[in-house]
Structure 1
Amino acid sequence: MPGSTVLDLSLILVLFVALVNGYRSGLLQSLTGIVGAVAGGVAAFFVVPLVGSWVPAAQWRTPATIAVAIVLVLIGHSLGTSAGGMVGRRKKRSPLGAINRVLGAVFAAVASALVASMVAFSIGSLGIPFLSPAIASSTVVSGIDSFTPDPVKALMAELRSVAVQQGLPRIVDAFTGPTPDAAEADTSSPALAVAAQSVVRITGTAYACGQSQSGSGFVVSDGRVITNAHVVAGVGEPVVETPTGETMAGEIVYFDPVDDLAIISVPGLGALPLTVGANLPAGSGAAADGYPFGGPYVSDPTQVISIGTINVADIYGQDPTPRQVYTLASDVQQGESGGPLLSESGLVVGVVFAKASNTDNVGYALALEEVQPVISQAPGLSSPVSSGTCVRG
């Protein structure tokens, strides 16, 4: 039986039990228990990304992660139920009768769905090869997710990033001009909408550093995805997710910590390769596509401030070397690393990889001189390579 089917059946059972218990107890009696479960879900949302660093044995990390999430929710529900026990007994015979029971059932089901969504998002974002695809393919999770507004999902991802604490490379003193205003451009063109279908979210866990990592990437040939090396550094088996929800584990077949580029092999990935264009001159409008904080997909309008040679350290902060880099009017966030810089016609013109350390609204992308040679190699890369040492956030 597929993992997503097992998950769906389990979630349906949980929601049914919550519905029945809510109806039997009524809103007033079950309220505190539900609030406690939600509190436990919130705790699990933040704690789950940290569990891997607490468990030394690799084979026990995934079971421990799932167990911690379940235990925290159960503890929260138990404490909430105990705290409200006295109130519940006094209100056992509520004058609201059937209305109270129906409201209790509805509230319990909705709250349970919220908890399930939070825990599923947190566990799914860890990039566990067999678990993340099951969560992404779950009909129940997808149904709950469809009712969650994108701003709420983006906020959840940003809050979770506080616990994850994965860093984004910063370039010091490369930009010395005044702080640019955020770029204003139309990123809803048909060409960019088509290109968006090939921009993927990448997640994985670097157990040596005790952290989950997320970033962006894009398809460059059949079953090959390019991203930044720092996104997958120390990750054994990254998970790639397309905008349609297709989620697959991949293998790292190219890893360059100096130029901060990596290629992931994902045989059978349905997304089509993007077309490479030409470098954009200063003043050009563009779009920086990706998944900030590992949350929903965004296409950020940006403008090319300049393109030229900048000395950039490797992903470990050592040995600066000259590279052709775009300086962008863009507020690059963790999670957008590895995403494409696209022209207004939807062509790849660079790879987003860093932000300025001394100026707001300034980001950086590798120009095609750095990216094109790696993209050209991608179709012939098939042998797994080491992903190096993880970069502590």
Structure 2
Amino acid sequence: MNDAPTVYLDHAATTPMVPAAVAAMTAHLADVGNASSLHASGRRARRVVEESRETIAQALGCRPGEVVFSSGGTEADNLAVKGLYWSRRAADPARRRILSSSVEHHAVLDPLHWLAEHEDADLELLPVDRHGRLDVAALAASIERDPASVALVSVMWANNEVGTVQPIAEVVALAAEHGIPVHSDAVQALGSLPVDFAAAGIDAMTISGHKVGGPLGVGALVVRREIELTALVHGGGQERDVRSGTLDVPAVAGFAAAVELAVKEQADHAVRVAALRDRLVDAVRRAVPDVVLNGPEPGRGALDRLPGNAHFSFPGCEGDSLLMLLDARGIECSTGSACSAGVPQPSHVLLAMGRDAEEARSSLRFSLGHTSTEADVDALAAAIVPCVERARAARA
């Protein structure tokens, strides 16, 4: 058994809770009261929820009433794309088209495919360049072909696999010319990039607690008050009547504390983890000369790539095998593959970027966060050569 301390390089999957979020959450774990109840205990719970809503709104540049709490990013993405599509179709049956990028997270892609299969949506997944950046000209051409038929546009703020930051301002400008609402999954962007809902001009934005040092199981859809959404979950009419259900008050409090801290420390955090990321990229390239870095080159532009993301393809390796070899040495990261029915599938993101299936299956993502250190990077640098050699030998 490996007794060395774990080197955690998978912050894009989930990041440790920050002390402020732990304190805010545990302060309310023993409290009694449903935030929908009218008695004193219920009013106290409601006060915690509304103060948390105000904290998040102030941090994100939106109005408190625009913050709709959810169980996390996946539910918020589903509410955004399904709720927008259904409400727009109800108002105008001709609005069947949904435009999105080909590199979205499955929390967006899967509900979009479901709408295409079950709700008569006409889904268009737009191409990206070799770095994973949306082809804005293709979006413009698709909109102009028949703008009156477009129900919504959904483009993520930053990619969860290769870290590419998308041209949201350009997307919004194109859609706004025709009054088309824009949703953006900002789960990976929040805390790593400047995120201002009002300044961005988008209509709906997804965020998640556990990606910014908050608890699991809580997130939000930030959505403009003027936007009509059809509810996914019906019941007590909570959260503007678009997301019914009793709110998890302790989790909401922890979520708000994490968001507030992440936004406050974003600039310093980005500088620190970008320096660590650059150190990691240099170390891996020196150790494995034929490694391929996927996504924009670090330093090409500070806002082109998430500061804590390093995504590589290792020629001659199976990503899953390399991951397990690193894991045996106490180094935790993630593979670029998804698993369907127990069978590894090549990353749809890398395939959309023009990589072949073999390159896609040889990829690993290393993502840094608030607990990452130079020692973590150095541990990976020391382990990567023997692990790559063993992975290549196993495949051969």
TM-score class, shorter-chain normalisation, is under 0.3
Who wins on radius of gyration, i.e. which is larger? 1
Question: Relative contact order, CA 8 A, sep 6+: which one is greater?
Answer: 2
- Flag the structure with higher strand content: 1
Question: What TM-score, normalized to structure 2?
Answer: 0.26
